[in-house]
Amino acid sequence: MAVLVGKKAPQFNAQAVVNGGEFVADFSLDQYLGDKMVVLFFYPKDFTFVCPTELHAFQNKLNEFESKGVAVVGVSTDTEQSHFGWLQVDKNKGGIKGVTYPLVADTNKTISANYDVLAGETYYDENDMLQSVGELIAYRGLFLIDKEGVVRHQLVNDLPLGRNVDEALRMVDALQFFEENGEVCPANWSKGKEGMQATHEGVAEFLDKHVN
């Protein structure tokens, strides 16, 4: 798998559904450059089972992300029409009605491929026919992208394993803490806890205070 941390996030222009039902023909992350961080997350399929729990979990925390100056964007390999249809279905029927952040349609699978979260493989057989092994859908990838468009954190789960949205918020807090204070975030750091200086003395002082 490609490690994108420290590199420019792959850019794209694609169809998307925003604000719970509006179609956008040329959605791009460029709109956030210099203004907002982005939590970009990939999920396998519309109208499935683990996926709506994740999409609603991000929606439930959307105000917290936005209050920190962070945009949340979801992506799957479904079409924009599929996204729109799922957005019309009530939560109690397995739908995602009420989700308002953008849902990008990666129908060509190029976005998932460029972020290296596309499951399955393709090959040409002896008859020069294109074949696939496994479904060409996205793993549960998550990327924290800073205001300059650089990936600062990435996490990829296999299809059955739902994500922890609070952990995504913690990583936002950690990056913002570092940017604002110039201190690094030790193991199990969370907002409100002390950071430390990135020096031998700083590590020694932190360990002496916090690790028995």
Residue pair 175/153 in contact (Cβ under 8 Å)? The answer is: yes
125 burial class (0-12, 13-18, 19+ CB within 10 angstroms)? exposed
Residue 51 is a catalytic residue: yes
Per-residue confidence at 1, pLDDT binned at 50, 70, 90? Answer: low
What pLDDT is stored for residue 207 in this prediction?
85
Q: Over 90: is that where the pLDDT of 172 sits?
A: yes
- Determine contact, residues 35/140, Cβ cutoff 8 Å: no
pLDDT value of position 204: 84
- The answer on pLDDT for 184 being more than 80 is yes
Looking at residue 211, what is its pLDDT?
72
pTM to 2 decimal places: 0.94
Nearest to 43 by CA among 92, 103, 99, 3: 103
Beta-carbon count within 10 A of 192 CB: 7
Domains of the chain: 14-162 (3.40.30.10)
* Cβ 101 vs Cβ 73: under 8 Å: yes
pLDDT tens digits, 46-86: 999 999 999 999 999 999 999 999 999 999 999 999 999 99
Could you give the angle at the alpha carbon of 183 between the alpha carbons of 182 and 185, nearest 5°? 135
102-119 per-position pLDDT tens digit: 999 999 999 999 999 999
Q: Which of 9, 17, 39, 51 is catalytic?
A: 51
Scan for tokens 């468009």, then name that residue: 149
Retrieve residue 143's tokens.
């990327």
Strand order in the sheet with 37-42: 22-27, 14-18, 103-105, 70-76, 37-42, 140-145, 151-157
**pLDDT value of position 125:** 93
Share of the chain above pLDDT 70, in %: 99
- What SS3 class is residue 175? helix
